[in-house]
Amino acid sequence: MITVIDYGMGNLRSVTKAFELFTDKVRVSTNPDSIYESSGVVLPGDGAFPQAMENLEKNNWIAPLKNYIENNGCFLGICLGYQLLFSGSDEFEYTKGLDIIPGRVVKFNHDNLKVPHMGWNQVKLEKESVFLNGIDDLSYFYFIHSYYPEVENSDWVIGTSDYGNVFPCIVGKNNLIASQFHPEKSHRSGLKIIENFSGLSNNSNNSLNR
């Protein structure tokens, strides 16, 4: 069962509907214990980083999430759910993140470009990932964000995009994949990521014991 985490940040319906194109084993959950019965976990989100971390902590998601990821569970982070994986963010004030990936989330600072970065942009695939099978290099994906991560270890970087500067927009290792763009809004290429994640997670045995 794939669990889409509901922690009060953003509309979950579009993400869930995208998964329902490929599997009937998907649910939205507000219960952190559901992680222990999940073959895959999705952390989506729109909004502010500090509020997101506050919500995760208040609703007791942080320890189960970190445990699941550290035990190599299939995990997909989307947009804000991507940024939360990093050590911290400068949004409003510095806020500690989940600290799965060493790095700091910072704001775009370009006088000649609009912020937020919103719309379609190409993604350069820097390395292979099973979650990206069937996706062409330089495919277009849909972005909407004002912040991006400065990653300390390039081994995490799977894909990059360019908006005034080149920034990492797909990161991952082992069974973790996360994207700054919205795969559920990115037509064929984005839905292919969701299809791949659905197949890989539901065909594996990632459920954890408490």
- Domain holding 147, by residue range, is 2-202
Q: Are 190 and 141 in contact (CB under 8 A)?
A: yes
Which residue in this structure is represented by tokens 């919103």?
118
Q: Give me 140's structure tokens.
A: 């277009």
> Over the Cα atoms of the chain, what is R_g?
16
- Report helix, strand or coil for 183: helix
Digit-coded pLDDT (tens) for 122-181: 999 999 999 999 999 999 999 999 999 999 999 999 999 999 999 999 999 999 999 999
Spell out the residues 6+ positions from residue 207 whose beta carbon is closer than 8 angstroms to its own: 36, 37, 38, 39
Beta pairing class for 176-179 and 166-173: antiparallel
Can you give the CATH number for the domain in which 158 is found? 3.40.50.880
Enumerate the active-site residues.
Answer: 79, 182, 184
Pairing relationship of beta strands 157-162 and 117-125 according to DSSP bridges: antiparallel
Indicate whether 207 belongs to any domain. Answer: no
Question: How far is 174 from 130, CA to CA, in rounded Å?
Answer: 9
Establish if 209 belongs to a structural domain: no
Nearest by Cα to 65 from 96, 36, 28, 104: 36
Residue 192's pLDDT band (boundaries 50, 70, 90)? very high
pLDDT at 207 over 70: no
Q: Tell me, what's the pLDDT at 209?
A: 43
Q: How many domains does the chain have?
A: 1
Nearby residues of 185 by Cβ (< 8 Å), 6 or more positions away:
14, 142
Q: Are strands 40-43 and 74-78 parallel, antiparallel or unpaired?
A: parallel
- Is residue 210 a part of any domain in this protein? no
Tokens in use for 208? Answer: 């954890």
Q: Give the whole-number percent of the chain exceeding pLDDT 90.
A: 93
67-105 residue pLDDT tens = 999 999 999 999 999 999 999 999 999 999 999 999 999
In a domain, 208, yes or no: no
> What is the pLDDT at residue 34?
96
Write down the pLDDT at residue 206. 55
Question: pLDDT for 107-134, tens place per residue?
Answer: 999 889 999 999 999 999 999 999 999 9
